[in-house]
Structures are given as C-alpha cells and as structure tokens.
Structure 1
Amino acid sequence: MKKTVVRITGFLLILLMVLAGINRVFKMKYGDGIYSLTKFYEQKKDSVDVLVLGSSHAFENINTGTLWDEYGMASYVLGGSRQPSWNTYYYLKEALKTQRPELIVLEGYMLLYDADYEESSRIIKNNFGLKWSKDKIESIKVSAPKSQWAEYFLEYTQYHTRYRELSREDFLKNQGYRYYDDWKGFGCNLDTIAEVGTDVKQVDEVSPLYGKTEEYYRKILDLAREENIPVLVTIAPYFLIDEKSEKMFNRVGEIAGEYGDLFLDGNKLVDEIGVDYQVDNADDVGHLNYLGNQKYTKYLGTYIKEHYTVSDRRADAAYESWQKNADYIREMIADQELKESGDMETISEKLQNPNYWVFISVDDSCNGEDQELQRFLGAAGLGDALQNGFSAGVWLTSQGKILNATGAGTAKIYIRKKPKEFCIQRMAGADGQMENQIICDRVSYRKVDSGVNVVVYDLMTEEIEDQFGIDVSDGCRIVR
C-alpha cells in the first residue's frame, strides 16, 4: 500500500512538472501586458521606487533608462495595451504585495475609455500575467461579462492550440531577447512618422468621465492614499489629442486635485517639453518615438525631482540591473541613429561605438580614387592595410582596429561569438573572379555588387543592427 501511494505521488509530481513545462512554452508572452508582470515579479522586494502605471502611452512614452541616467530613479512601467482603469487598479494591488514605491506615476490616457469591457485580446493581455489570487479572479470578473468568465478563468483554453504559432523564442529564457534580461517594462519605439498635432492649450472646459472608468480611477487614488503613497497623474503628449478628449483630461485633473495629488498634462505643455510631432512621433496612434520619449521623460523627471522626494540609486550596487537596462536602451537608440545616418562621415563616427564589430568587404572594383571612401576606410582601421594601394579582402574591425582579415588571396575564417557564428571568406566565383562574403548564421550579407559592403554586429544587443553598401559604380552612394 505504501509503495502504491509513493508511486502515485511520484507520478503526479512528474505530471505536474510536465504540465508546468508545457504551460511555460505555450502560454502567451505579450510584451505589452503579460510579460511586464512576468518580469515585475522578478524584481527584488521593495526595489522599485517609481511605479509607472497605465497603457501603451505609459510603457512607450516613459523611458526607464532616461529616468535612471538623468535622475537615478529606479522606475518600472507596469502597464498593458489599452489597459482600462479597472485593470490598472488590480495591477497596483498586485504591485503593492512586493513593492513599496516612493511615488506612483499614473499615465491617464485610458481614462478616456467609455465602455464596460475591452476586446478579448486586451482582456487576455491585462489579466493573464497576474498570479492566481483573489485579486486576479476579481480582475477577470470586472474585465468581462459573466457569460465569458469561464473563458478567462480557464486560461489554457485560450492558448492550448498555439502549437502552430510556436517559435524558437517560446523555448528560450526571456524569449531569447537580450533586452528582457534587465527589462523594466519600457518599450522604446524607434520608428518615426511625421504628424501635426492640435493645440489644446486654451481648452479649459470640463467633461465627465465614463462611470466605470471614473470608479476605478478613484479606487486607484484611494488605494494609494491608504498606503500613504503620493500619485502623480500625467498625460503624455500625443498628436491625436482633440478638444473633446482634453475636456475629459481636465476632469481627470480635477479628480486628482480632490485627493491632493498633482496633475501634469503634457498636451498643454508641448512647447515647454520641446516635442515636435514632425520628428518625435512614432506611429499613427500617437506614441512618442525614441526622440520624443526622452524629451517627455526628462521633463517628467525634472518635475518629479521638484515636487517629490525620490531616491537616487546610481551609487548603489544593488541597483545594477537598472544601469544595465539604461545601457541597453541607449544602445538601441545608438543603433537606430546609425541606421538613419546617410553620409560616410557621420557613419564613421557612429561606427566607433565600442560595442560594435564592423565587418568590411572591399571588392576588387575599388581603386581608392574617392577621397571620402579612403577616409571612411581609414577611420574603420584599414588605413595601414591599404596604404600601398587598394587591396581587396574582408576585415573584422572594432573602434578602428583590425581584429581579423582574409587578406587578398583565397581564405575562409570562422569567428564564433555566442550566440552568433560568423564567416568571412574570399573565394573564386563561377566566372573565375574573386568574390567576398560576410556570413552570419549561414546568411550572406551583401548590399552592392561593386564596392564596399559593411555589416555591423552589436555585442550588447547580440544582433546585426545595420548593413549597407558603398556603391563605387555610382559615386560611392550609400545603399541600405
């Protein structure tokens, strides 16, 4: 009998382990809701000083790296895509189980929401990341009609058929994305779409909020007051703002004032912040890009320092992950600036980044007559190699120093740098002419057939971040 019990217990334990492994692979890992909670649970107890709540207008506009670099703030953006105020309320309840922030920043874009329930995908994103508890149950119940509760309580029914969607990332730690190692919930939008905003500075009329939205907005402020944590309610500027919405935001500010909390409306401070939607807007729904979010976050951070007491943790070794997060965000921005560079002089400056491996292929068609090309190759570290006239080959350089090279003859060199494998080679083609190749994980990179090809690998992001050619047959034009 005892052996039977042991066997059954052992079987059940193994079954639970298998199911847990299957669940880890199959469960949804959206970065705009679920994964922000996954990584939040990994933060050390009472380490988050500035807790940022809200929708995508929070996690795409409030730059945790900038708050750290400029002010030493240990912030975390705990938000979800189109997150209604009731989900924000339960995110706050969940956060306060492990964290005691010095300040709560509530980005209030979704306080415009005027319905009782969001669509299914948003319900999933704003609930499935929560750990099972009474609060999660209540969050699901308030997020969906009673007739649909079972669909969200039995989460596995929502994603058990994902086997057709599974990718390599589902099996890897942090989805194989280096950024998630020290992630603090911020998603830096690197795109740019020029837009023109609406001036709402003179709008002072007030319109009411939707009943359920206001109810949970007040619950958020009530909970913060009970915990004796100040709240800064803010609206990140966005080009789609209109008078109707601004009147509702005026009501948001009034309610914050009732609780003794401050209100900062970015839509009325566009000039002071320095936002220009021609260069600072990321998309057609109004998120700020990497230029705009830095401007807004610097303004927000300065406002926080002037009105609240928030610790500067930059000298504290226990907050190393915030430094790493800030470093990674700056690297992402540096990579984007490189991609947007269109002349050899600017590109040469950007390529001095110490985190870059720069692979350079010089074809036989290059003769060194173009002075600008000579300066570019010299800055890349090939000056000595080419001092006696142009020589074809493939080089790996970093900060203007040669790390490896094929030479002008036939050669094939493998260079391994986890998780990537590179190969630089020079060999005779089918027509007998010598050909250069830069290969990464069996993919050959080449932009021009006549001239110089460049591939830039970032050691921090562990990704190829740029590739371009310099077409010597067309005036050394940059080709991306």
Structure 2
Amino acid sequence: MVKFVAFVLVTCLCVGMVNEWLKPKYYYNDVYPSTNTFQDFYRLEKNTVDVLFFGSSHAVCSLNPQVIYDTYGITSYNLGTEQQSLVVTYYWLREALKYQSPKAVVIDTYMLHKFSDNYVYNDMNCSEPAVRKAMDNMRLSPLKWEAAQTIARTDPTQSSLSYLLPNIRYHSRWTELGEDDFTQSSMVTHGALKGFTIMDGTDETLTYTPFRAEDAEAVEGDIKMEPSATYLRKTIDLCKEKGIQVILINIPCAESIQRYRSTRDFADECGVPFYDFNEASLYNAIGYNAAEDLLSHPNYHGAEKISLYLGNLLAEEYGIAPRQDPSYDVTRLVYQHELENLQLQNTLELEDYLAQLNRERYSIFLFAPTAFSACLDDDTMNALFALGFSTELRGVRDGTHYCAVRDSAGTTERLTEEDLQFTGSIRGGLTTYAFTVDTSQMTNKIYQLTVDGIACSNISTGLTIVVYDNEFKEIVDRVNFDTTTEDHTATHY
C-alpha cells in the first residue's frame, strides 16, 4: 500500500510538472503578458482590490491601475486578455471572487458583438489560443472543470479535459521549450503592471469623428453574439447578487453607432450604466485625439486619459474610497522601467541616447563595421567613455571594424582592419552574441551582429547600438546613428 501511494504521488507530481512546463508562457517581455496577469493576481493579498477590470485587449491597453491608484488611491486590477470571450469573463469573475471582494466591476463590451468579418467563427466569438491564455492560468478546481465543460460545449473543437491536463493540447511543444518555461517563479516575481499592457506610437494620419448619442435613436442596433450576451447577463446578475456595482464601457475604437445602440439598449435592460468613449460627449470630455492617442489599442497617453476619467467616476459617482497598498510601489517601479525603455526607443539625439544607457540593467552592444569616425565629436566620445568604453574612435580610417560589449562583467572591445568572428555571452551564459565581419567576397561582404539569435545590424555605416534589458530578458532597442554626417541621423529598426 505504501509503495502504491508513493507511486501515485510521484506520478501526479511528474504529470503536474510536465503540464506546467509544456503550457505556453506570456510574461512581461511579451506584448500581452497574460501569464503575469493571472499569476500576479493570485499573489495579491486577499481582499485588497476594490475594482476589477475585464475585457478584450482593448481593456488590457486602456485601463491602467497604476495611474488610477497614483491619482485617486483606488486599488484595481486588470484581468482582461486578448479577445476575451464573455464566457471567459464570467468564469474568471467567479474565480476572482474567491480571493477578492471588489466594490465595482468594469467590463469592456467589445466582444458582445462579432469580433471581425474576416474571422472563422465559433460560438466563443474568439480563437482557441485566446481562450487558452486566460484559462490555462486558472488554478485547478471544480470551477475550472465547469468552465472547461462549458467551453467545450460552446466550441466542440476543443477538449474540456485538455484544460485540466494541458499536455493533451501541448504534447508536441517540448521541442520549443526555453529558459522562460522553467523560470516561472522568478518571471512572475519580477511583477507586471496589474494586468495593464503599455502601448506606444502615434499615427498622424489617423482621423476619427465620434458619433452623437442622439443620432442613435434613428438607427437599428447591431446583432449581439450568443452566448456572449447570455454570459454578460450572467456576469451582471452575479455582481448584483454579491452587491457589486457593474459598469459597462467601450473605449475609443471606431465602434459603429449601431453597436452603440445595441449595447446601450442591453445595458438599459440589465439596469447598469454604459459609457462609450466613441460617443462625442465622452470622447471630447477626456480630450482624446486619435492621431495622438490611437484607436482600439491606445498608447499609454490615451490609456491615461481613459483611466483618469474612470478613476474620477469610481471615486465621485460610485464612492470607491482610497486606501494604501504597498504593492503599487513595486508596480510603479516596473511602470517607470517600461516608460524609460520607450523613451530610449524614441530618442533621436546621440548624446541624449548615450546618457540614457547608463543603467545597470542594460547590456550594450556597439557595432561600426566600415565607416564611422568622420563626424564623431568630443561630446560623443566623452559619453562613450562615461559608459565604460575606452577605445578612441576619432580619426579612425574607413574600412576599420569596431565592435564592443558592455555588461555586468565589464567591457570588451575590438578595433581591427582584419576580418573577425567575435562571440560571447551575457547573463551568465544564457544570452549569446556574435560579431561577424567577412570581406573575402567582393560582392557578398558580411557585416553582422547577432544577439540572442536575432540579427541586429542591417546598416554598415555609422555606429549601431543594440540595447539588451537583462531584467526583461529582451532586446529593447536597435538604432543606427550615422556618425559620418554632422547631424548623426538616427534610424531605429
């Protein structure tokens, strides 16, 4: 009996470990870090979150708990995911209520209607990988089994058992396993942004004219998807049963007035408020500008506008009181880290760029394989010296090759007119790099820098800089400054 019990326990342990390894991971070095989102949620102190956000990637990119906390002191968490089916929203709300007692739940309604005309549809109204990103991270429980059965009934192409035993779905993934699959604890410990994802960029050509609410009276509402409507209603009923205030929203996303009418009527039927930022009065109230803030997936400036409006609404209209929570001190540092990386990616002045590199978390790669010294000046060289590079690059004749690396172990530099193959690693050997210069073939000369298997140099003239973030375990910027010209033209790529 002892041997039998021991065998069963060891087998269960091995199966559990294999399932955890095979399950895909999405951390803060991915666009949508859903693994961080849900695993960080489980690490929160119980009953410390007063507002929960749910919804699609629209919600993930728009609702920033850090901004809301820093401005209004309201504690919130964003449990949105890409293409989040409203079936998934319902079950994740039930899961969240095991650990938190929110006073309000805010739901992005984008998935209430058809996701896209170019989409192969099932009744989940989203892709199977989108369902997985949320449900694979839910803890094993009778609730997860209930959710898995509902998903399989709604989309018969899916297996309910595979949500309890992911190796059924991911059995062939063992050939793709990498470092992140075995370091979940440290990756989650680093922390994300309480479910929020930072987007950047602008589109000066983007124009958008929001519709007026009064014009909706003359249109017919768009068709709602099923079971999306059923499960949104179940979610609202659950919140009412628990005494939780429900707020439905839609962010600026060029949504049609027909969908606005449909959602507004649905909200009225359920007796809950609906705020659609595609409607002119709200769009203008937050000072939104599509050309500056983007549509559908707002950049972090647009997200701040939406979040500040909602924070004020939660405080003034719904009576959510401020409270102290030291976990926001941690996420504030992560948020600042992300913003510093974005600032780096948008810097065009060489000296300003080099000044921003003086952070311990960065490993820096320099590559100048042909011509680079013509317009190097004292300011540039002094900035390079300050970063720990010591080779004098002024006055070097064209055809000379320069490559250098600075990381926590020190600085390594090469300056030569001979072809070279220079390799090494950072992060204790976990990330490799290689510099290659091969001029032996007149018509096919090779000037290449590779970091972590990624080709990082496509310009041979001037100074190419590649920045690797050791905390995020990723390349955060690649830029070439043409130091053969006076203005040191910058090209981020």
Scaled by the length of structure 1, what TM-score is found?
0.76
Q: Please, which of 246, 254, 257 is the counterpart of residue 260 of structure 2? A: 246
**1:273 maps to which of 259, 272, 286:** 286
1:195-234 to structure 2, matched below 5 A, reads 195-202=206-213, 203-205=215-217, 207=221, 209=224, 212-234=227-249
Q: Residue 301 of structure 1 aligns with which residue?
A: 311
* Equivalent residues in 2 for 1:27-38, closer than 5 Å: 27-29=23-25, 36-38=37-39
1:109 CA displacement: 1.7
Structure 1 position 99, deviation (Å): 0.8
Structure 1 residues 377, 455: closer, same or farther in 2, change over 3 A?
farther
Cross-structure match for 1:96: 97
Shift of 1:23: 1.1
Note the C-alpha offset of 1:49. Answer: 2.7
Match of 1:455 in 2: 466
Given that 2:90 and 2:231 are in contact with CA atoms closer than 8 Å, whether structure 1 keeps it comes out as: yes
2:155 & 2:425 partners in 1: Cα distance?
58
Contact 1:358 1:396 in 2 (8 A): yes
Structure 1 position 187 matched with structure 2 position 197: yes
State the TM-score, normalized to the length of structure 2: 0.75
Q: Check if 1:9 corresponds to 2:10.
A: no
Is 1:466 aligned to 2:477, yes or no?
yes
Write the letter of the residue equivalent to 2:108.
E
Instruction: Mark the CA change 1:266 to 1:7 in structure 2 (over 3 Å): closer, same or farther.
Output: same
The equivalent of 2:331 in structure 1 is: 325
Does 1:26 pair with 2:27?
no
Cα 1:467–1:82, aligned 2, differ >3 Å: closer, same or farther? Answer: closer
Cα deviations by residue, 1:44-88 (Å, 9 ceiling, x for unpaired) = 322323211122221222123333444444322113333333332
Identify which range, 90-99 or 263-272, moves more after superposition: 263-272
Map 1:75-114 → 2, pairs under 5 A: 75-113=76-114
Q: After the TM superposition, which of the residue ranges 82-91 and 336-345 deviates more from structure 2?
A: 336-345
What SS does structure 2 have at the residue aligned with 1:16? helix
Range 413-422 or range 290-299, more displaced? 413-422
- Percent of paired sites with the same residue: 22
Q: Distance in 1 between matches of 2:375 and 2:35?
A: 56
Distance 1:18 1:414, change over 3 A: closer
User: What SS does the corresponding residue of 2:44 show, helix, strand or coil?
Assistant: coil
Answer whether contact 2:63 2:306 (CA < 8 A) is retained: yes
Q: Which residue of 1 aligns with 2:48?
A: 47
Corresponding residue for residue 159 of structure 2: 151
Aligned-partner Cα distance in 2 for 1:92–1:340:
38
What are structure 1's unaligned runs of at least 5 residues?
none
User: Which stretch shifts more, 345-354 or 22-31?
Assistant: 345-354
CA contact (8 A) 1:86 1:217 kept: yes
C-alpha displacement at 1:238, in angstroms? 0.8
Tell me the secondary structure at the aligned position of residue 185 of structure 1: coil
Structure 2 counterpart SS, 1:148: coil
Secondary structure of residue in 2 paired with 1:294 = helix
Contact 2:50 2:103 in 1 (8 A): yes
Q: 2:309 and 2:358 mapped to 1: Cα distance?
A: 30
Aligned match of 1:342: 348
Give the secondary structure class of the aligned counterpart of 2:480: strand
Are the counterparts in 1 of residues 123 and 154 from structure 2 also a CA contact under 8 Å?
Answer: no
User: Residues 112-151 of structure 1 correspond to what in structure 2 (within 5 A)?
Assistant: 112-113=113-114, 116-118=123-125, 121=128, 122-145=130-153, 148=156, 151=159
Partner of 1:67: 68
How far is 1:354 from its partner?
Answer: 6.8
Give the C-alpha shift of residue 25 in structure 1.
1.6
Tell me the amino acid that sits aligned with residue 267 of structure 1. N
Is the 8 Å Cα contact of residues 51 and 78 (structure 1) preserved in structure 2?
A: yes
Matching residue's letter, 1:337: Q
Distance 1:94 1:354, change over 3 A: same
Aligned partner of 2:301 in structure 1 is: 291
Task: Report the Cα offset of residue 426 of structure 1.
Answer: 12
Count, aligned residues: 457
**Maintained 8 Å contact 1:358/1:457:** yes
1:103 Cα deviation after fit: 2.6
Shift in CA distance, 161/195, structure 1 to aligned 2, threshold 3 Å: farther
1:9 Cα deviation from its structure 2 partner: 1.5
Matched residue of 1:105: which SS?
Answer: strand
Deviation for aligned residue 1:430: 8.0
Measure the CA separation in 1 of the matches of 2:259 and 2:248: 16
Q: Closer, same or farther in 2 for the Cα pair 1:139/1:396, shift >3 Å?
A: closer
Asked if the contact 2:315/2:321 (under 8 Å) is kept, the reply is no
**Which of 102-111 and 420-429 deviates more?**
420-429
Alignment partner of 1:204: what SS?
helix
